[in-house]
Amino acid sequence: MDAKSPVLAGFPKPQTHPADIIKDITSKDLQGTNVLFINMPLRETAVPSVTPQGPLLLATNLRQNYGVYATIIDLNGYRIQDEHAKLRNLPNGRHLTYAEARELIQKHIRFHGTPDLVGLSGKITTLRWQENIARMVRDLLPDVFLVSGNGLATELKTGLFNYIPELDGVAHSEGDDVIIKIVHDARLIKNVGMASAMRSGNLEPYYLGEWGGRHRFMYAGNRPKDLNAIPFADLDLLAEDVMLGKELLEYYIKNAVWGTSANNSSATSFTMKRSTTFVSSRGCPYACAFCFRGSQGERNYGVRTPQNLVSEFELHLQK
């Protein structure tokens, strides 16, 4: 890698599926690690109705299967009703300001403890937010392992380092398996230091090298080998919000996903009073010009079984 170049054009493309790379990592290796996912805001003009499925799935798996203390800050879950929103003609309310987002992050850290890993999640429209949040995180937590994933990371890959130099790593494609390796690397570096971690060889195959004063990683995600084996996303993770508590989850549930009141492209004869969402399939084999598939499995199409979907649906009804 050319250390003088701001462009990281090359990155390793491991042929090994991440599930095979993490097969020997157990809960004993990761237990007690503190992980924070920060989900970026989407359209300010629309109320949030779809819970952040990606961070929820990753956090649920880490907590249930690996003993990791994983929490979520969902910046998209806020629509503030105040004079500023009225002046901007935002009847549904406004996003948090950057100053308010920083205050939320600080409160979250005070309540949940200092994270060893911070993962940013956002679609391709969230670059500016990620730039600002990354600077905040690096200012508040100089030594934290900071990684970006989801749609923006999948689109730009190593090019994202040019926009957000505060990042240690970028994770493209589906993160269900590779998040385990990311947590493993963050924990290893914290425990033994970067130099010893490099000498151990345990940072392979995703370590790129050093650029701009930081060691960089490019994590290659992939489709889980069995979509039905993934734990159902625990929506109650949103109820741990330090500012709104359970009101944040209730806000999502009360905002209709479909129907006349949803204010989106859906056309139905009914109105939803309480609704939740989950993903039945991933990826799409087609190439519509208006759609970026990078946040939902790219062109690799796969579905969950009907019984698996019914089980999750029944769980949502029960809860």
**Chain segment 116-148, per-residue pLDDT in tens:** 999 999 999 999 999 999 999 999 999 999 999
Residue 236 lies in a domain: no
Residues across the chain: 319
Mean pLDDT of 264-280: 84
The Cα-based distances of 309 to 59, 230, 304 in angstroms read 20, 12, 7
Residue 112, CB-side half-sphere exposure with 13 Å CA sphere: 27
Question: Considering its fold, how many domains does the chain have in total?
Answer: 1
Q: What does pLDDT average to over the chain?
A: 92
Question: CA 61 from chain center: how many Å?
Answer: 13
**Residue 211 — φ and ψ, nearest 5°?**
-150, 135
31 contacts 62 by C-beta, under 8 angstroms: no
* Pairwise CA distance, residues 163 & 128, whole Å: 9
Residue 184 lies in a domain: yes
pLDDT value for 9: 46
pLDDT-based confidence at 1, cuts 50/70/90?
Answer: very low
Residue 314 lies in a domain: no
**Residue 35 — φ and ψ, nearest 5°?**
-125, 135
Tens digits of per-residue pLDDT, 15-37?
799 999 999 999 999 999 999 99
Residue 311 lies in a domain: no
Tens digits of per-residue pLDDT, 184-221?
999 999 999 999 999 999 999 999 999 999 999 999 99
Question: CA 2 from chain center: how many Å?
Answer: 30
111 contacts 280 by C-beta, under 8 angstroms: no
Residue 144 lies in a domain: yes
Top pLDDT among 271 and 145 is at 145
* Pairwise CA distance, residues 54 & 38, whole Å: 11
∠ at Cα 237 (234, 240), nearest 5°? 160
pLDDT value for 7: 47
**Domain with 188 in it: what CATH number?**
3.40.50.280
Residue 193 structural domain: 18-220
The Cα-based distances of 155 to 214, 260, 281 in angstroms read 22, 33, 20
| Residue located via tokens 């600077």 | 135
248 contacts 21 by C-beta, under 8 angstroms: no
pLDDT value for 13: 53
* Pairwise CA distance, residues 237 & 248, whole Å: 10
Residue 140 lies in a domain: yes
Residue 142 lies in a domain: yes
Tokens of 49: 């109705």
Element housing 16 (H / E): none
Tokens of 313: 């649906």
Residues 6+ away with beta carbon under 8 Å from 290 = none
Cα dihedral 259, 233, 148, 92, rounded to 10, equals: 30
Residue 185 lies in a domain: yes
pLDDT-based confidence at 6, cuts 50/70/90?
Answer: very low
Element housing 241 (H / E): none
37 contacts 70 by C-beta, under 8 angstroms: yes
- 11 pLDDT above the threshold of 90: no
